[in-house]
Amino acid sequence: MKRDTGAKSHNEIVSLDAFLTVEQWTAMADTKPRYELIAGRLVQKMTTNTAHARAAGRFFRACDEWADTNGWIFLTEGTGIRIDEHNGYVPDVIGFPPDAVPDPKANYNERPSIVVEVLSKSTSKKDRTDKLRDYAKAGVPLYVIINTATRTVQVYRLQGDTYGAPAVLQENDTWQSDELSGLRVELARLWI
């Protein structure tokens, strides 16, 4: 497959010679680097910095420990989400309630109950616009955006087919979700 090495930014490589479906995207070999499918084209996800990795890992850890006694399943980056026929993302963390356990053999999922994205310099705009719109379109009830630069967390809740104004939490707050009763994420543990 040809790749455009003069990509949109120095952090993205976009395929020029193929218009893919989500099924074709997920049938690709499970190798690094990871790609998202945006408007039918492959967009390479680049490595993240230490602050990003820690925030995603610590958020996942808090959720996963809570999930052990509540029947939920949380997955880290690597599992895709199908938005529509030609769009699929690979979020930092996704979660599923007990009544929506994902197929362990699936490469992508239709609709998790929570999606978490940690902002990166190269993806911040996309996470706040395209993904905000697309996760709502896919019916994801909770979309959480972690900003390591400002040490804030925004929690969006689905209202109809769009997200309402986010709840904004500061660096030392604790997130407790009504939708995930008993889950507590101490934000101070996310930061380096």
- At 185, which helix (H) or strand (E)? strand 184-186
Would you state the pLDDT for residue 87?
Answer: 87
pLDDT band (50, 70, 90) for residue 85: confident
Q: Please determine, for residue 176, whether its predicted confidence score (pLDDT) is greater than 90.
A: yes
Domain assignments of the chain as residue spans, ordered by start: 3-44, 50-190
The dihedrals phi and psi of 137, each to the nearest 5 degrees, come to: -60, -35
**What pTM did the predictor assign?**
0.81
**How confident is the model over 60-76, as a mean pLDDT?**
95
- Is the pLDDT at 123 greater than 80, yes or no? yes
Q: Greater confidence, 43 or 173?
A: 173
pLDDT of 135 reads 95
73-91 burial: b if 16+ Cβ within 10 Å, else e: bbbbbebbbbbeebbbbbb
- Phi then psi for residue 79, to 5 deg, are -95, 130
CB atoms under 10 Å from CB of 5, counted, come to 7
For domain 50-190, which architecture applies?
A: Alpha-Beta Complex (3.90)
Q: Is 109 helix (H, G, I), strand (E, B) or coil?
A: strand
